Structure 1
Amino acid sequence: MKAWVGVTDWSWYEFLANQPRLEEVNFWQPGGSRAFTTIGPGELFLFKLRRPHDVIAGGGFFAHSALLPLGLAWESFGTGNGAASLADMKRLIDRYRSSEGTSDPNYTIGCVVLVQPFFLPRSRWIPAPPDWKPNIVQGKTYDLTTEPGLSIFEQVRDALTAPSGEPSWPVLLRDLPADPRERYGEPVLVRPRLGQGTFRVLVTDAYDRKCALSSEKVLPVLEAAHIRPYVDEGPHRVDNGILLRSDLHILFDRGYLTVTPGHRVEVSRRIHEEFDNGREYHALHGQDLRLPHRQECHPSREFLSWHNDNVYRG
Structure 2
Amino acid sequence: MTAWLMYLGTEAKRVGEGYDDNPSTHYSWDSRVPNASHVRVGDTIVLWDGEALLGLSVIEDIATGSGTKDLSSCPTCGKADIAERKTMTPKYRCWNGHCKAEFDTPALETVPVTTYRARYEAGWIDLRGHISAPELRALCEEPKSQNALRRLRWDDFRTRVETGKNATPLDVADNTRKVIAGGHKTRTVRVRNGQAAFRASLLEQFGEICAFLGPMPAAALEAAHLYSYAGNGKHHTYGGLLLRRDVHRLFDLGQIAIDPNTMALDIAPSTRAYPDYDKLHGQPLTVPLTKTHQKWISEHWAMHRGAMSAIPGPSSSTSTASPHAVA
More helix by share: 1
Give the TM-score normalised by the residue count of structure 1: 0.33
Compute the TM-score of the two structures, normalised by the length of structure 2.
0.32
Whose relative contact order is higher, 1 or 2, with alpha carbons under 8 Å and at least 6 apart? 1
